[in-house]
Amino acid sequence: SQHVGLAHGLYQAHAGFRADMDRAADRLSELLGLDIRALLFASGEARDGARARLADTALAQPVLFAVEVALGRLWLALGIEPDGMIGHSVGELAAACLCGVFDFEAGLELVAARGALVQAQPRGAMLAARLSPEQARAHLRGTVGIAAVNAPDAVTFSGSHGDIEALRRALAARDVPARLLETSHAFHSPLIEGAVRPFVERVGRIALRPPQRPFVSNVTGTWITEQEATDPGYWGRQLREPVRFADGLQTLATRAGERESLT
């Protein structure tokens, strides 16, 4: 997802998007001690170093959040009003921000804290595989867990480097398509459990408001409730529990079926 050059064309072409990215970069510079624009828009020999740094979750999470919110605000400014939103993992926090649960600056602070807390946990690996959730459960060993269900036949596993590599080899031996993700940690797994309570405490220090637009919960796969959106404990569960993205897409498709289009 995050990569050198991400959103560079939008940054150059759209003043509103550029203003939001500059605002985010200035605040994140205070929080992270670096300018995310130098990483996102690196050129020449600096690209390799920027690519390596963007793989660390402490930077990847706030970078993705900033780009996603700036892009969402651009669509809204163009008059595109969504019937509902969905985000994947940290993308749900971007959706929550766009739906008014917290403001942009508070969101930047939250996601910077989220990234730093996860960065402090044991490192791990993730593997995307062409399996159904039922098939995937047969491969859960050691630290390996299901981090996300992205489609009826597409799951992502999380776990330690050793356990994920053993799983990759086992799937390869069965000709199951699978690929390692470029990530520093095993998201949505027990390996990041230590980040949950401090993050809940951090969320508890900001004002959470009822959503002004509907968005889908990664935890339940259906429309988030006002109680969930304003509960710091929910955001801790959202950090740790599997992403039910396939269910969330079905929730959106159901609403789209009522309105005859999904974009």
Residues 19-44, mean pLDDT to the nearest whole number = 94
pLDDT in tens, 91-137: 999 999 999 999 999 999 999 999 999 999 999 999 999 999 999 99
User: Residues 214, 223: contact at Cβ < 8 Å?
Assistant: yes
* H-run or E-run covering 145: strand 145-151
d(CA 32, CA 24): 11
Whole-number pLDDT of residue 55:
82
Average pLDDT along the chain: 94
pTM of the predicted model over 0.75: yes
Asked whether the predicted pLDDT for residue 140 surpasses 60, the reply is yes
- pLDDT at 107 (0 to 100): 98
Among the four given CATH numbers 3.40.50.300, 3.40.190.10, 3.30.930.10, 3.30.70.250, the one describing domain 125-182: 3.30.70.250
Residue 139 or 49, more confident: 139
Give the number of C-alpha atoms closer than 13 A to the C-alpha of residue 71, restricted to the C-beta side: 15
pLDDT in tens, 217-261: 999 999 999 999 999 999 999 999 999 999 999 999 988 766 655
For position 183, what pLDDT does the model report?
Answer: 87
CATH domain 8-121+192-246 topology: Malonyl-Coenzyme A Acyl Carrier Protein; domain 2 (3.40.366)
Alpha-carbon distance 97 to 178, whole Å? 33
